[in-house]
Amino acid sequence: MLPVKHSRGFPRTIQGFTLFGIAMACAGTAAAADEPLYTVLNPTGNPPPIERKSMAPRPVSLTGKTIYLVDETFDGGDKFLLQMQQWMTAHMPEVKTIFRAKKGAYSADDPALWKEIKSVDGLMIMAIGH
């Protein structure tokens, strides 16, 4: 039995409903003429609406920019970012890098850090370890 193919970068929810919209439901084997047919109810819940957000504008160049390397504290993300910082120091001397561990649990907001990054017109790379 093959699962529905979910192409990368194309959300499951959108894809699922597109399939619904294409007509119908079942793409299995053809029914025998005397086989009973059923109409059934969809068992899934109701997803919330999505509020689209514009991404942050990009600079033309990284020269003179400050890049924050932000660890969200999960499974080795800190060690990975520190290696990235070493690489950037060696290969991108025109860029300033600052390593930071996000405050609080990995899923917690850290508005003070976001404010700090904005205050220097900085950029952020967040790494999620695992």
Partner 1 sequence: MGVIIDALVDLVHDKAFEEGMPALRLVFTPTPVGGKTPKELAAYIAGNDPVTKKPFMQEIVEDLTRPLNDEEKKTGVVKREKKRFIGPDTVDNIQKYFDDRFWTDQLPIIMPTQERVAAMLKATHHKPDEVVGRMRVTGEREAWEYTVETAAINAVMAGAKPEHFPAILALAASQTEAHSSSTSSMAAMAVFNGKIVNELQLNSSTGALGLYNNSGALIGRAWSLLSMNATGGSVPGHTYEGVQGNPMADVPAVFAENVAGLPPGWKPLNVQKGFQPDENVVSTFDGCQSQNTMMVLQDEDWQWALKRIVGGLGSPQRGGKLLLIDPAVTPPLLRFGFDTKEKLINWVKENVTMPKDHYWLDQEVINYKLGPARAGQEPYASWLKAGDDAPIPYLNNVEVVVVGGSGNIRWSVNECSYRKSVKIDDWR
Which 71-130 residues touch partner 1, going by CB under 8 A?
A: 73-77, 79-80, 83-84, 86-88, 91-92, 101-108, 123-130
Nearer to partner 1 among residue 8 and residue 119 (C-beta): 8
Closest residue by Cα to residue 81 from 101, 106, 96, 59:
101
Closest residue by Cα to residue 114 from 50, 60, 68:
68
Q: How many residues of this chain interact with partner 1, rule: CB under 8 A?
A: 81
Closest residue by Cα to residue 128 from 41, 82, 70, 49:
70
Nearest distance from C-beta of residue 118 to partner 1, angstroms: 16
Q: Are 19 and 44 in contact (CB under 8 A)?
A: no
Q: What distance in Å separates the CA atoms of residue 25 and residue 105, rounded to the nearest whole number?
A: 42
Nearest distance from C-beta of residue 109 to partner 1, angstroms: 11
Residue 19-48 contact track with partner 1, rule CB under 8 A, x = bound: -xx--xxxxxx-x---xxxxxxxxxxxxxx
Residue from 33, 57, 93, 119 that binds partner 1 (CB under 8 A)?
57
